[in-house]
Amino acid sequence: MGPTRRARSSAVTGIPRTLAWGVALAFGTALISGLSVYLNAFAVRQVPDPAVFTTLKNAVAAGLLVALVLASGGGTVPRLRPRQWTGLVAVGLVGGSVPFVLFFTGLAQASASSAAFIHKTLFIWVAILAVPLLRERLGSLQFAALAVLLAGQAIVQPPVGVAWGPGETLIALATLLWSVEVILAKRLLASSIGPSVLGAGRLGFGLVFLAGYLAVTGKLGDILALGLIQWAWVLVTGALLFGYVATWFAALQRAPATVVTSVLVVSVVITSALQSATAGTIPDPVVIGGYLLIVAAVVALSWVALRRSDLPLIEGRYAARGRTSSAAP
């Protein structure tokens, strides 16, 4: 069997569709996410309205993803079935628009610690949904790794002194919607929709909803008031969002949703390392212990996934040692 059949690649990226590459792409997503969170902390001070900032950077990322689809010839787009178009609109609604509004509205009412902790529980909700809906299998070692990952997250971002209120509820709803998006994305990717097309649909249709939200709230005019520095931050963070979405969906195409969302938690460690380097400080030993728990849990989950060849069943069989998915590229 020749190398082409042994390792099918994406027509756009040339990346083989193997489980190992899926895990590697997930770590790439975590790296981009960690850097993005760090830079967004500076960007939101320049573009203080979160809805305007989110809409504009999503527009930049959507434009880059559309360009990527066109660069590949856009061959699969005309062949999409009505059900697939409906799925793209649904992903744009539950992943690219509504949860952003809910999250940022809740963030204005909730404490930073509670918001960070609730949002980073995404991997738990995805695991709960992935077992019955994607038929992903979780053994005792995987359950233990997920528990360790949650413990590490609680140590790094402890929700101390948190009283549950409307803000926390909105953030929890946003997190649940993003977990539903992961399930929808996996199913759409299994139906031959490519990661770049899915990403363009997610941000493109999401942009329509976000622009409508700005129009209803009377904030469209705020865009015209932005200066060069503010637009520079929009372009930088939008480019990072493009990289995040592109690698995120490419990882989901190749690896189990539970593994991909768990690996994303590593972004917390990356953001903290950047913050510590900037401040010239060293994190508390207890927090460092939390980082080690997160890394250990993610490594364990990745190792178990790479050892198995039957996850996720919804996309055929992913081979663990260099073999590929039986699903069509």
**pLDDT tens per residue across span 190-240:** 887 889 999 999 999 999 999 999 999 999 989 988 999 999 999 999 999
Residue 85 has pLDDT above 60, yes or no: yes
Residue 213: count of CB within 10 angstroms of its CB: 18
| Mean pLDDT of the 264-273 span | 90
Question: Lowest-pLDDT range, 211-215, 252-256, 306-310?
Answer: 306-310
pLDDT of 253 reads: 94
pLDDT of 320 reads: 36
Question: Lowest-pLDDT range, 81-85, 159-163, 198-202, 237-241?
Answer: 159-163
pLDDT of 160 reads: 67
Residue 295: count of CB within 10 angstroms of its CB: 15
Q: Any idea what DSSP says for residue 16?
A: B
pLDDT of 16 reads: 87
The band of 132, judged by pLDDT with boundaries at 50, 70 and 90, is very high
Angle at 81 between CA 125 and CA 95, to 5 degrees: 30
Residue 98 has pLDDT above 60, yes or no: yes
Alpha helices in the chain (DSSP H): 3-6, 19-46, 50-71, 82-94, 98-107, 112-119, 122-133, 140-156, 166-190, 195-216, 228-254, 257-263, 266-279, 285-307
Residue 311 has pLDDT above 80, yes or no: no
Cα dihedral: 185, 190, 193, 194 (round 10): 80
Please tell me whether residue 314 adopts helix, strand or coil conformation: strand
The band of 7, judged by pLDDT with boundaries at 50, 70 and 90, is very low
pLDDT of 295 reads: 95
Two tokens, residue 10: 């994406």
Residue 308 has pLDDT above 80, yes or no: no
pLDDT of 324 reads: 36
Mean pLDDT of the chain: 84
| Mean pLDDT of the 57-67 span | 94
Question: Lowest-pLDDT range, 13-27, 67-81, 168-182?
Answer: 67-81
Highest mean pLDDT among 157-171, 172-186, 272-286: 172-186
Residue 326 has pLDDT above 60, yes or no: no
The band of 23, judged by pLDDT with boundaries at 50, 70 and 90, is very high
| Mean pLDDT of the 239-257 span | 95
Q: Give the residue with greater pLDDT, 248 vs 44.
A: 248
Q: Which amino acid is at 211?
A: A
Q: What is the pTM of this model?
A: 0.85
pLDDT of 41 reads: 82
Is 242:234 a contact under the CB 8 Å cutoff? no
Residue 274 has pLDDT above 60, yes or no: yes
Q: Which residues contact 119 (CB under 8 A, 6 or more apart)?
A: 103, 171, 174, 175
Q: Which residues contact 59 (CB under 8 A, 6 or more apart)?
A: 203, 207, 238
Alpha carbon distance 4, 14 (integer Å): 11
Q: Any idea what DSSP says for residue 327?
A: S
